[in-house]
Amino acid sequence: MKIFWLISLLVGTSYGRYEPNWESLDARPLPTWYDEAKLGIFIHWGVFSVPSYGNEWFWWNWEGLNITDYGEFMKKNYPPGFQYSDFAPQFTAEFFDPAKWAELFKISGAKYVVLTSKHHEGYTNWPSASSWNWNSLDVGPKRDLVGELADAIRNKTDIRFGIYHSLFEWFNPLFVRDRDNIFHTNDFVTQKTMPELYDLVHRYRPEVIWSDGQWEASYKYWQSTEFLAWLYNDSPVKDTIVTNDRWGMLTPCQHGGYYTCSDRYNPGVLQARKWENAMTIDKVSWGYRRNAKFEDFLTIDELLQTFVSTISCGGNMLMNIGPTKEGTIVPIFEERLTQVGQWLGVVGEAVYSSVPWKHQNDSVTAGVWYTAKAKNIYAFFFDWPQSGSLVLGSAQPISNAANVTMVGTTTPLKWNLLKTTGISVQLDSLPPKQIPNDWIWVLRLEGF
């Protein structure tokens, strides 16, 4: 396992050219920045932000659904014959301030951002020449949303900019015809999907391409391996670009730069390949919902617990927010991002550039997860024990100078070697005023 982490996270510029097949493409080492980053922000934003009701699945499957809640909502709020495209003029983004977004993302401690460039309904958040009158410059905001955010991120932060892109579109006539021909034709790919992907790379130079919408056809139909070979060999971002695994119906968790496997994927055990937990702060939806309730959102404890269990098992976490149609990030999302940033400001040394330890979670105490960096082991614990003593069954001293401190302080903590296994750390030896943060505390173990 250690050999995997050392080899697979090297920058692959010296490995020659990659061939358009999975054996070659999967051998490309993952650029080191991605594993070191640990945390990213996902942004689901588009025309579906206008209705912002229920689960956005209603809007992406606009036709052919027999959902009572959906039907009653439409009858109550929209006239007969209203089409999904009629929402586009209401996607105004009038309050979208990319500089403020960039500042918030910087405060959150995230190291990369992935913005929706196009979702399954085909509307593009940039002036795509392949999407005439169905893009953010022609209808709705009358702005290049992808370009504005990319510029703000790069000018005001050191965050990496990435894009989400759906390979397919629900109702595009070219795709429907290809599907009716059992994908023996691929006019949609050659005239729409691939021109868009090449345009996005040349125009915005993203360092993450988060592909989606792959499930109806094979990677051969999507021409995925040809595109990835160009991306890794000849594109302007060939040395730093990272990609996910959604490039064909059988590719998730099998092929690609890193694995996402399924939405909210969090296996709880160390994986053989780098992976990502793409998850939502709103438990119900990826897009903004006007009818969301307070209890629908992850608490800061739930969010950080998800993050810690993810990085302890070698994953990154891509936490999703859904802005409004006006381009605002609502207070509940802003609060969560700010809280995550406050926490990372204290415990960041145990997070960024860390690697999985030989134990992912503790053998005795539940709610304790580990990372490692250099010669230090870091123990994240979710609950403060009522006894004031925390048992770490997986920690064994290997030096007479073994030392335990809480990250964010310099005061050594008293600890005892247990007769059975592990150690007991006396947390109450730390004065209450010196406790550095409010959620999920981290111990630094030196000489263990």
Strand segments (E) across 274-364: 275-280, 315-321
The CATH number of residue 63's host domain is 3.20.20.80
Full-model pTM: 0.93
Domain of residue 265, residue span: 2-350
Helix (H, G, I), strand (E, B) or coil at 445: strand
Whether residue 206 sits in one domain with residue 288 = yes
Whether residue 421 sits in one domain with residue 290 = no
CB within 8 Å of 78: residues ≥ 6 apart: none
Say if residues 267 and 279 touch (Cβ distance below 8 Å).
no
Whether residue 294 sits in one domain with residue 429 = no
Q: How many Å apart are CA 144 and CA 307, to the nearest integer?
A: 32
Residue 11 in tokens: 């920058």
Note whether residue 360 is domain-resident.
no
For helices 98-108 and 145-156, angle between their N-to-C axes, nearest 10 degrees: 50
Say if residues 123 and 47 touch (Cβ distance below 8 Å).
yes
Strand pairing category for 368-373 and 376-381: antiparallel
Q: How many Å apart are CA 291 and CA 370, to the nearest integer?
A: 38
Whether residue 282 sits in one domain with residue 223 = yes
The CATH number of residue 399's host domain is 2.60.40.1180
Whether residue 95 sits in one domain with residue 14 = yes
pLDDT for res 307:
98
Whether residue 405 sits in one domain with residue 346 = no
Note whether residue 34 is domain-resident.
yes
Note whether residue 355 is domain-resident.
no
Q: How many Å apart are CA 108 and CA 97, to the nearest integer?
A: 17
DSSP 23-34: HHHTTSPPPHHH
pLDDT for res 55:
57
Whether residue 376 sits in one domain with residue 418 = yes
Q: How many Å apart are CA 376 and CA 405, to the nearest integer?
A: 11
pLDDT for res 41:
98
To which H or E segment does residue 75 belong? helix 68-77
pLDDT for res 69:
57
Q: Which of 300, 324, 350 is the last residue of a domain?
A: 350
Note whether residue 425 is domain-resident.
yes
Note whether residue 164 is domain-resident.
yes
- Return the residue matching tokens 């605002």: 328
Note whether residue 356 is domain-resident.
no
Q: What single-letter amino acid sits at 350? A: A
Helix (H, G, I), strand (E, B) or coil at 267: coil
pLDDT for res 252:
98
- Return the residue matching tokens 């207070």: 331
Helix (H, G, I), strand (E, B) or coil at 5: helix
Whether residue 400 sits in one domain with residue 323 = no
Whether residue 308 sits in one domain with residue 405 = no
Q: How many Å apart are CA 190 and CA 188, to the nearest integer?
A: 6
Q: How many Å apart are CA 372 and CA 360, to the nearest integer?
A: 10
pLDDT for res 54:
64
Q: Which of 288, 323, 350 is the last residue of a domain?
A: 350
CB within 8 Å of 295: residues ≥ 6 apart: none
Whether residue 340 sits in one domain with residue 213 = yes
Q: How many Å apart are CA 47 and CA 32, to the nearest integer?
A: 35
For the chain, 448 residues long, give each residue's pLDDT as a single digit of tens.
443 444 444 444 445 899 999 999 999 999 999 999 999 999 999 999 998 876 554 544 444 344 455 567 777 888 888 888 899 999 999 999 999 999 999 999 999 999 999 999 999 999 999 999 999 999 999 999 999 999 999 999 999 999 999 999 988 999 999 999 999 999 999 999 999 999 999 999 999 999 999 999 999 999 999 999 999 999 999 999 999 999 999 999 999 999 999 999 999 999 999 999 999 999 989 999 998 999 999 999 999 999 999 999 999 999 999 999 999 999 999 999 999 999 999 999 999 999 999 999 999 999 999 999 999 999 999 999 999 999 999 999 998 889 999 999 999 999 999 988 899 999 999 999 999 999 999 999 999 9
Whether residue 401 sits in one domain with residue 309 = no
Note whether residue 79 is domain-resident.
yes
Q: Which of 280, 315, 350 is the last residue of a domain?
A: 350
Note whether residue 44 is domain-resident.
yes
Number of domains in the chain: 2
Closest to 298 in 3D by CA, of 261, 264, 347: 264
Whether residue 213 sits in one domain with residue 112 = yes
